[in-house]
């Protein structure tokens, strides 16, 4: 049976540049739609959520397909991605599964902040890209000015073609469609190899979890058993593939296709399967958080359960409960509206949010050591644990090492100790996650399993993993107190273009906000600045730039590093019992 090649294509742009309209036009011209949908009217194929239709923005990547008018009949799977900077993580997830991309720019506004951010991500991941100047039919359109803008502000753009036209009228879209299949690489069907693929999107409906997979090779059929990264094998109970008419039931999916699988309850975004497993990486963690407030207190449990499901679809929505509060991680204010809309639309739950705050981390200052021994000084656990904690290089995370013999205890007890250590370090001395450190186990001891003749196992006289899991938290917290920590706040790398006439005023503003300018690049009437700015000040900068620059500023920002807080360190409320209060911990966390 002949199978056509496939091309997984990303349509990317700054918000309002017209990428969703371009998707509609490509589908219409290929005969897959009876009419071109309208973003304003909320009738587009790919924007299916209420909040997307209401606001006219894309917040979740969507897939639609068409058969190209080329000799091979290439199936083009279009991934329509968000354009708003609050959803850059969704864009980066999509990039990992693309063969090529079209970066859309407005013929009126030209290169915009998110255009720069997306272009850098495309270059970093080496995704072949076409550039399309859209909205040439609008008043104020100047494609030649935008072409010059592209060459000046998107390094490397002089290498993939720049086309122009209008998704609204269809002008120039046929040329773009031809360039998509002639200039971008497609994937030939690869059925004979072992099945391999990556999970890039997860949704839920009334039938359960829908797992979106980019098939890299081989074939996968209903009832096949699949083992995703680090998870147990699960059976595929349902399968659809993206076709010209949308998602359609299929007996099998093959290499190059995008498939939607059911039955994979343990799947998470970024999981992969098969040889040469590929991780969906490059995620920049969110640096903001906000407390979610249910409309009525008795709905708190339902809100938490719903947010847990949403976090499954977006792994960067980290949930945290403190007492009766639920906090979520964010990239920006628009995400609040989206989360609230999803909770209302899918779960019938009304919520509001408190003020957005910045998420800090803690780094270890010195070396600390602590020891707890079996049945010494009220230790109720049947375990001896000694730990040393010390700083490690920035970006190295947490490393657990052994200074005791590996045969000194059962492996499960070492694993439980490490689990307890990592759990305790989620909340440092000021409540923030501790990172970039080495924790070394210096002492160990346990009571062997009691197995006398005619007697069953009795954990009252035998050590269990829980002893080491709980005691590890107490010991590492004591060692951390001795070592001390420094609270560090996120610092963004900013890339800012402003009219040269207001450069002095902008530099003064950055200085007041605690920013540091690293480089300046004078240009034709504009100056490009690169520098660092505490993430706490990004909102202040974005709110003042329009008035200061007459709306001419272009700002792109991204988390770069964490730096010590120079004022009074902020404190985050602790979740659960505090292992620093040793005696209370022993009471509240019994064997």
> DSSP states of 506-575 as a string?
HHHHHHHTT-EEEEEEE-SSEEEEEEEEEGGGHHHHHHHHHHHHTT--EEEEEEEEEEE-SSSPP--PPP
pLDDT band, residue 552 (cuts 50/70/90): confident
Give the residue-averaged pLDDT of 271-295: 75
The domain that holds 235 is classified in CATH as: 2.40.30.10
Lowest mean pLDDT across 33-47, 60-74, 93-107, 570-584: 33-47
DSSP 84-126: SGGGHHHHHHHHTT-SEEEEEEETTTBS-HHHHHHHHHHHHTT
Residues 428 and 519 in one domain: no
Residues 474 and 496 in one domain: no
Q: How many domains does the chain have?
A: 5
Nearest to 63 by CA among 49, 50, 81, 75: 81
| Domain termination site, one of 161, 183, 205 | 183
Residues 495 and 464 in one domain: no
Residues 410 and 262 in one domain: no
Question: Of the spans 12-16, 29-33, 163-167, which averages the highest pLDDT?
Answer: 163-167
pLDDT in tens, 500-525: 999 999 999 999 999 999 999 887 78
Higher-confidence residue of 542 and 399: namely 399
Tokens of 397: 């995370």
- Does any domain span residue 191? no
Give the residue-averaged pLDDT of 553-573: 89
Residues 342 and 441 in one domain: no
Q: What are phi and psi of 385, to 5 degrees?
A: -135, 125
Provide the residue count of the chain: 591
Residues 260 and 293 in one domain: no
> Do the beta carbons of residue 209 and residue 202 sit within 8 Å?
yes
pLDDT band, residue 342 (cuts 50/70/90): confident
pTM: 0.72
Give the domain range for residue 216.
Answer: 196-273
The domain that holds 110 is classified in CATH as: 3.40.50.300
Is residue 58 over pLDDT 60?
A: no
Residues 422 and 340 in one domain: no
- Does any domain span residue 189? no
Cα angle: 415, vertex 418, 424; to 5 degrees: 145
Residues 162 and 220 in one domain: no
SS3 21: helix
Residues sharing a CB contact under 8 Å with residue 381, sequence separation 6 or more, in sequence order: 372, 374, 466, 467, 468, 470, 471, 591
Cα–Cα distance, 135 to 535 (Å, whole number):
34
> Do the beta carbons of residue 524 and residue 557 sit within 8 Å?
no
């Amino acid at each position: 049976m002949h199978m056509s090649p496939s091309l997984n294509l990303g349509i990317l742009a700054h918000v309002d540049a017209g990428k969703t309209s371009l998707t509609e036009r490509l589908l219409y011209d290929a005969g897959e739609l009876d009419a071109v949908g309208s973003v304003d009217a909320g009738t587009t194929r790919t924007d299916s959520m209420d909040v997307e239709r209401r606001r006219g923005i894309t917040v979740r990547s969507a897939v639609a397909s068409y058969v190209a008018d080329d000799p091979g009949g290439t199936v083009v799977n279009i991934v329509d991605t968000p354009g708003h900077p609050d959803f850059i993580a969704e864009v980066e997830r999509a990039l990992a599964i693309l063969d090529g991309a079209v970066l859309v720019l407005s013929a009126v506004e030209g290169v915009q902040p998110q255009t720069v951010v997306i272009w850098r991500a495309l270059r970093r991941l080496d995704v072949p890209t076409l550039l399309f100047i859209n909205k040439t039919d609008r008043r104020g359109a100047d494609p030649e000015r935008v072409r010059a803008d592209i060459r000046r502000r998107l390094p490397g753009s002089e290498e993939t073609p720049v086309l122009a036209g209008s998704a609204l009228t269809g002008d120039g879209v046929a040329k773009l469609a031809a360039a998509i299949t002639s200039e971008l690489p497609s994937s030939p069907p690869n059925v004979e190899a072992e099945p391999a693929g990556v999970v890039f999107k997860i949704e839920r409906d009334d039938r359960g979890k829908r797992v979106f997979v980019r098939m890299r090779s081989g074939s996968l059929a209903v009832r096949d058993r699949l083992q995703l990264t680090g998870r147990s094998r699960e059976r595929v109970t349902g399968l659809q593939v993206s076709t010209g008419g949308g998602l359609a039931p299929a007996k099998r999916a093959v290499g190059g296709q995008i498939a939607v699988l059911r039955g994979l309850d343990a799947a998470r975004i970024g999981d992969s399967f098969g040889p040469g497993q590929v991780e969906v990486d490059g995620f920049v963690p969110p640096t903001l958080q906000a407390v979610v407030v249910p409309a009525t207190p008795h709905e708190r449990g339902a809100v938490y359960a719903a947010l847990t499901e949403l976090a499954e679809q977006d792994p960067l929505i980290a949930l945290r409960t403190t007492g009766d509060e639920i906090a979520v991680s964010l990239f920006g204010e628009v995400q609040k509206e989206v989360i609230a809309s999803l909770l209302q639309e899918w779960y019938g739950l009304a919520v509001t949010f408190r003020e957005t705050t910045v998420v800090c981390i803690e780094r270890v200052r010195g070396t600390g050591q602590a020891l707890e021994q079996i049945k010494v000084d009220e230790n109720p656990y049947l375990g001896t644990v000694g730990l040393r904690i010390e700083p490690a290089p920035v970006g190295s995370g947490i490393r657990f090492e052994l200074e005791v013999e590996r045969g000194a205890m059962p492996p499960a007890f070492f694993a439980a100790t490490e689990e307890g250590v990592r759990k305790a370090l989620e909340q440092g001395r000021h409540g923030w996650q501790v990172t970039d450190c080495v924790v070394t186990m210096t002492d160990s001891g346990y009571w062997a399993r009691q197995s006398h003749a005619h007697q069953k196992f009795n954990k009252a006289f035998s050590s269990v993993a829980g002893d080491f899991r709980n005691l590890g938290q107490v010991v590492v917290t004591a060692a951390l107190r001795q070592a001390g920590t420094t609270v560090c706040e996120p610092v963004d790398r900013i890339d800012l273009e402003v009219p040269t006439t207001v450069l002095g005023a902008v530099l003064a503003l950055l200085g007041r906000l605690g920013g540091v300018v690293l480089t300046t690049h004078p240009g034709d009437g504009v100056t490009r600045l690169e520098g660092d700015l505490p993430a706490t000040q990004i909102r202040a900068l974005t709110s003042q730039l329009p008035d200061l620059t007459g709306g001419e500023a272009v700002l792109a920002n991204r988390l770069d590093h964490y730096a010590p807080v120079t004022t009074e360190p902020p404190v985050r409320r602790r979740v659960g019992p505090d292992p620093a209060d040793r005696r209370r911990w022993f009471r509240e966390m019994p064997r």
